[in-house]
Structure 1
Amino acid sequence: MRKSESVSTTEEEEEEEKATLTPTSPFQGTPVSEAEEAGKEEIVSSPGGHRAVLMKPRRDREEEYEAFYATGLQEKPSKGEVLLWFLYELCSYLVHTVLIPILFPLLISQIFSPPPVPPQGWEKTSKGVACTQMQMQLFEGLTYPSIKVRSSSFSPLEFTSISWAAGLILAAPILGAISGCLDDGNNQQLIAAAATAVGAVFCLPVGFFKTTWVFPVYIAAIVAASTVAVACHTRHLGLMVQAFVGSTIRKSKFPDRRALAGWLTLYATAAGCFGSAIIATFTYHMLGHTERFLSLWVVSIFSGLIISAGTIHSLAANIPAANTDSPPSSIPKSHFTSIFRYPHAAGSLAAVFFASFATMCIFTGGVLHLLGQLCLKPVNILYLWLTYFIFPLISLPLVQPLQ
């Protein structure tokens, strides 16, 4: 009888011990116990490779977090690192908002002689609205199919769009090849700096050859390099959020992680809009010169110099590898498609797609309609663009508390 009682007691003690122990490995999404959620416990290692949960004041727990970061395993980003992350957005946001959709079509349109006189003449739009010859020639130069490719004809805007798509197609296999290196390799900073530098370099020689056939090379290279650099930049965002919040958190704290990521993204977007506003204003100023092609080439060179400043973030930021024990060659080929296993991540991709569509299609199409159909003055077009870029500087920080 006593033997059975001692066995029962031993089993109860083992069950109580299991109930008070949680698995270790804070970097692998370990669930957090209810005692941990109360914020009053201490985690100590047991000989069996487990963590024991003991009660401890919250202040001591905060000191433990500081000690954990001090070990170098997961260092909190400094203010300088966060500002450098904003600097990259300031230097790169202009690529997809001004450089590709505005500057390059204007450059390509200056290669050809003025388009033929439209049926309504140069003094009116197709809707009969009075307009100036300079403004109508600018609009017709962007939309007239002056580029001949065998039996097909394309306008500078269409030619730029096709080159843009070619750049995205080129970036797809590159991202698939380096996705493992970005997650588990040691060359994230080198990849980000190289991609940023390549995009900047291809902005410099666009005026050397005054022919349309070199522009698809420039545009595709800039788009592919920018896409790779943005992937590295976004991964760094995830590392910063993990360093601030922790890789192992309870489910109730996920809104805090989302709010922090939203805060960083909103301010980075505001900084990028400021950079785009500067380049848009510079482009408008240079369009007033007699030699437009050379003037716009100067804008492209200036844009390349601004983009190159983004390499400062890549070289100076602390971007640790997530898992240095697993070589990049061991990553499966389907690694870059693993995002679709997470519904929230796939939903974010859909949101980015529709936001980009609204920016590059709806807004740009509306601006073209105002320019060529309603003959809105160019200076008012500039004010419209500046409103589009500067409004987020005010609105985004204001809506951040609502997240």
Structure 2
Amino acid sequence: MLRLEAANETIGGLAGTSATATVQDGMDGLNSLTLKVAAGKTYSFAGSISEPGTLLKIIKDGEGTQILTKGLGTFGGLEVKQGKLQIGDGQTITGIGMGSDMSVEEGAELILNTSSAVEFSPQLSGQGTLTQAGTGTTTISSGSFSAKTLNVLAGRVLANSSSMTTNIQVTGGVLSGTGVVTGNVMVKGAGQINQKNSNGFDDGYGVFTVNGNLTLARPETSSVPRLVLGVNYGGATVKDADLASWINTNGADVSGYFASVGDATFIQNTYDVSNYTHDQLLVNGVLTLEAGALIVLENTHGYEFELGDVFNLLDWTSLNLVASGTDRLWNKEWDLLLPTLTGANMRWDTSLFDQYGIVFVSAPEPGRVCLLLFAFGGVLLRRRRSVRPQC
């Protein structure tokens, strides 16, 4: 047992394979333990850090790597100033050292390698790197989250903070959530954005906002979706009874309906909204879709689709459709997968998707119908989108 009697202690790192070893603070008030690991050194400690609930603050200094396999049960905060601090070795942990003062400084890295579910409920500051390396779920629910980079290598990251300032790289595992990210998001390798249960409940749905650019690259395995959205019990964004009536009377050619209600202005004001009845992804920047990056809408709760059901799935400022090598461009006919409609008189109309990210349920047609006559110039598609207040 290592017992700290002074208010602040600095040691050259912790090492040991005994799970019964302990580090105790020995103080009633707020004090700190600095682990200053030299460059080129890696130390692993299998014991416990202080008693659960104490106000001991852990500071990682030095350019080396410190591994705490049991995690931290303390509430004094955590500061990674230099090098790498890895919490966990793939197994369950006691915690990640919560507290009002949590930071990862520029050039430093905090690695979460655990099968446990952990949560950042206080704020995280700094310009360092946070890496999700374990199979568990990390929830970011703090009021303020700041990092240079958030790496998702495995497991799941629930980005639920309404104020996240970071760039996100998803190369494995899953990113989801209902938060607002100010920064760019790249999904590649074996990574995925999966929103269908983003709030952690069986009836989950969520609106995830990226105030920056989002790139969905072609996955390593062609059958694995890049983006998965789910339909909740509430179903459509808008149930347009007038559209359904038009379809019943005039068939699948609905160009006359949109001409009568005001075309683009009507679509933006009525359809281009969020009502939280299904998952939705909002990109206030450039959305780049590479050929083969599958976008899937799943009917997760057996919703019964009807004529006139409108789904606003994606929203963007600019849409960039690109090829994968010498392959074709991203194409909604190949790369957008929608639920099977059981009604014999129903089909999906995707003619609004390239312009608005919107699909709706229509009637069968003998040939392809053009809903609106938009001039699409090249593969970089720009549109005027409505501005929503950010919470």
Using the size of structure 2 for normalisation, the TM-score is 0.27
* Higher helix proportion: 1
* Higher strand proportion: 2
Larger radius of gyration: 1
Using the size of structure 1 for normalisation, the TM-score is 0.26
